[in-house]
Amino acid sequence: MGRSEELMNRAVQCIPGGVNSPVRAYQSVDMTPRFISRADASHITDADGVEYIDYILSWGPMINGHNNRRVLDKVTEACQRGMSYGAPTEIEVEMAEFMTSRLPHVDMVRMVNSGTEAVMSAIRTARGFTGREKIIKFSGCYHGHSDCLLVDAGSGLMTAGVPGSAGVPAGCTKDTLTAVYNDLSSVEALFEANKGEIACLIVEPVAANMGVVLPEEGFLQGLRDICTREGALLIFDEVITGFRVAFGGAAELFGVTPDLVTYGKIIGGGMPVGAYGGKREIMEMVAPLGPVYQAGTLSGNPVAMAAGLEQLKILTEDADIYNTLAKKGEKLFGGINALLKQYNAPCTMNHIGSLGCIFFTPDTVKNYEDAKKADTAVFAQYFRHMLGKGIHLAPSQFEAMFLSVTHTEEDIDKTLELVEDYLKNAK
């Protein structure tokens, strides 16, 4: 028995499922999770000392690689001055100035502690601003675990929300309507059936929680146009895409301006941070300035801000950084795609920049219904093959692969070799 198995045996006695977030469990691949003891740059080491090339990167945050020196130094420095005060600090102002001066769609921003909180607060703000209660989300898009967003209505076109989790009262989700990703007519139909009642529409502008699904040409602009026409707010949930597909996220990359935007993951540099922001007149609704209440004991924590701000600075200093990431993405994901074709594998590769996903289905994947056609048993075989050869992938078909600036040519070549190895043997 390895150290991870030993730790898991202890963990399951006192932590539900042995993990502090369900995505970490290896349930769907029928294994014991690797317990991690350290990580550096693109590599991560488990409790038995086995080293892997890491494509999870803490589910996105470590875009500059693990153990980035500059981030580490800022954090250590901040720690020396006290961990938390519950009073305003200079670095919070610096963070907000840094963001608002570089993100044209963000006039004001509020810091929170997670992506879940950011989204929950943005929705509350949208409801407060519009005086309307209904919201639209897309099936297959994840927006954190707050009650009203835990709706996974499947083929939910035109259906009011059914909670996707026990413990969520139907009352909390009855105002959550679900549309089909990349299908503007499903959005039009919901607006038509709920005239003047929709507060906001929230979308992952590149969906990255049902695998990776790209917005089709015109989809995001179409959402913008419909929301403007109907007086509803457009919220981009950029918790994954923010500072990843471009510094300004999908809003910058696709040139579509949301009314509100949410951030998480990368913005904390590995610390628990989220943020929501947007147009001044909307953000002025938030307490203590306005009537929408939202608060947080540890929000804007100085140590977390030190990590996050330094990470964002690194991402803006090298003008070429997103090109570099995209090139690495092309080499890895484009390379995998070529192999899938060469071996006639019944798979589909979706990718954009440093985000990618192999779907184990031969058909195009442009929404949740398509994604669900993937063969998760085959994914599990592939996952076990890769893990066994030293590749740390998310243990689910429906998660992205993340690249950092520290992934080397050698890392990518090795990964491609192992994918080829798998495809040869799968034949």
Ligand X SMILES: *Cc1c(COP(=O)(O)O)cnc(C)c1O
* CA distances, 212 to each of 131, 225, 333, 365 (Å): 34, 24, 12, 9
110 touching ligand X, by CB under 6 A: no
User: Shortest distance, CB of residue 143 to ligand X, whole angstroms?
Assistant: 5
Q: Which residue among 239, 251, 253, 387 contacts ligand X (CB under 6 A)?
A: 239
CA pair distance 216, 104, nearest whole angstrom: 24
Among the candidate windows 6-14, 27-35, 71-79, 112-120, which touches ligand X by CB under 6 A?
112-120
Q: Is 240 in the site for ligand X (CB under 6 A)?
A: yes
Residues 142-171 within binding reach of ligand X (CB under 6 A): 142-144
| Minimal distance, residue 139 CB to ligand X, in Å | 14
Which C-beta is closer to ligand X: that of 177 or that of 240? 240
Of 74, 137, 265, 328, which one is the catalytic site residue?
A: 265
Q: Does 129 bind ligand X (CB under 6 A)?
A: no
Cβ–Cβ under 8 Å, residues 332 and 356: yes
The answer to whether residue 214 forms part of the interface with ligand X (CB under 6 A) is no
Positive/negative CA dihedral, 61, 223, 321, 392:
positive
The least CB distance from residue 186 to ligand X, in Å, is 20
- Residues 6+ positions from 14 with CB-CB distance below 8 Å: none
Candidates 57, 78, 99, 119; binder of ligand X (CB under 6 A) is: 119
Contacting residue, 215, 248, 264, 353, with ligand X by CB under 6 A = 264
What are the structure tokens assigned to 37, written together? 């003891």
Smallest distance, ligand X to C-beta of residue 131, A: 25
Residue 115 in the binding site for ligand X (CB under 6 A): yes
Which CB, 262 or 337, lies closer to ligand X?
262
Residue owning tokens 């992938």: 393
Residues in a beta bridge with 46: 36
Residue 243 has φ and ψ, to the nearest 5°, of 65, 10
- Bridge partners of 112? 274
Tell me the residue number closest to ligand X, measured at CB: 115
Q: Residues 26, 55, 142, 382: which is the catalytic one?
A: 142
For position 116 contacting ligand X by CB under 6 A, the verdict is yes
Tell me if residue 142 is catalytic: yes
CA distance 215 to 182: 6
204 binds ligand X (CB under 6 A): yes
How near is the Cβ of 142 to ligand X at its closest, in Å? 5
Measured from the CB atom, the residue of 45 and 178 that comes closer to ligand X is 178
SS3 307: helix
Q: Report the alpha-carbon distance of residue 65 to residue 54 in Å, rounded.
A: 9
Is 30 a known active-site residue?
A: no
Q: Quote the least distance from Cβ 144 to ligand X, whole Å.
A: 4
How far apart CA 101 and CA 112 sit, in angstroms, is 19
Closer CB to ligand X, 91 or 119, in the complex: 119
Residue 325 or 394 with smaller CB distance to ligand X: 394
Contact 329, 353 (CB under 8 A): yes
Nearer to ligand X, 23 or 418 (CB): 23
DSSP 330: I
237 near ligand X, rule: CB under 6 A: yes
Give phi and psi for 178, each to the nearest 5. -120, 125
354 touching ligand X, by CB under 6 A: no
Q: Is 265 a catalytic residue?
A: yes
If we measure between CA atoms, which residue out of 39, 47, 33 comes closest to residue 64? 39
- Name the segment binding ligand X (CB under 6 A); options: 33-41, 115-123, 248-256, 304-312: 115-123
Which residues touch 98 (CB under 8 Å, ≥6 apart)?
309, 312, 313
C-alpha gyration radius of the chain: 21
Q: Is the dihedral of CA 254, 255, 259, 265 positive or negative?
A: positive
Catalytic residue among 46, 54, 175, 237: 237
Identify the CA nearest to 122 among candidates 236, 266, 223.
236
Q: Which residues bind ligand X (CB under 6 A)?
A: 114-116, 119, 142-144, 204, 209, 237, 239-240, 264, 274
Catalytic residues: 142, 237, 265
